[in-house]
Amino acid sequence: MGGKLTPPVVAGGKVFVASIDEHRVVALTESNGRQARRGLGGQVWDFTAGGRVDTPPTIYKGLVLFGSADGWAYCLRESDGQRANS
């Protein structure tokens, strides 16, 4: 991750941070700072939005919420970084 970062948010053993101009939100493992994985041996917890990430991630009831310059407010599952069902 490079460039300007949002303030980090810690929840559930993970550190959530957005790389503003890269349009990304990632989860790092709190204990070692490495990118968190989706389950054992799974893909890294990494989400790319359609535009610049305008707000720091907010954690609420197992969801990661943030706004983007593409006009959307995103809602991802804290556990795996996938979009939550509406």
CATH number, domain of 49, equals 2.40.10.480
The reply to whether 1 falls in a domain is: no
Tens digit of pLDDT for each residue in 26-80?
Answer: 999 999 988 888 766 678 899 999 999 989 999 999 999 999 999 999 999 999 9
- As for how many domains the chain has, the answer is 1
The reply to whether 85 falls in a domain is: no
The reply to whether 86 falls in a domain is: no
Q: Collapsing DSSP states into helix, strand and coil, what is residue 26?
A: strand
pLDDT band, very low/low/confident/very high, at 22 (cuts 50, 70, 90)? very high
The reply to whether 83 falls in a domain is: no
The reply to whether 3 falls in a domain is: no
Instruction: Round to whole Å and give the CA distance between 30 and 86.
Output: 29
Encoded amino acid at 32, one letter? N
Q: What b/e sequence results for 37-70 when a residue is b if at least 16 CB atoms lie within 10 Å of its CB, and e otherwise?
A: ebeeeeeebebebeebbeebbeeeeeebbbbbee
Instruction: Round to whole Å and give the CA distance between 30 and 22.
Output: 22
The reply to whether 60 falls in a domain is: yes
> What is the domain range of residue 62?
9-77
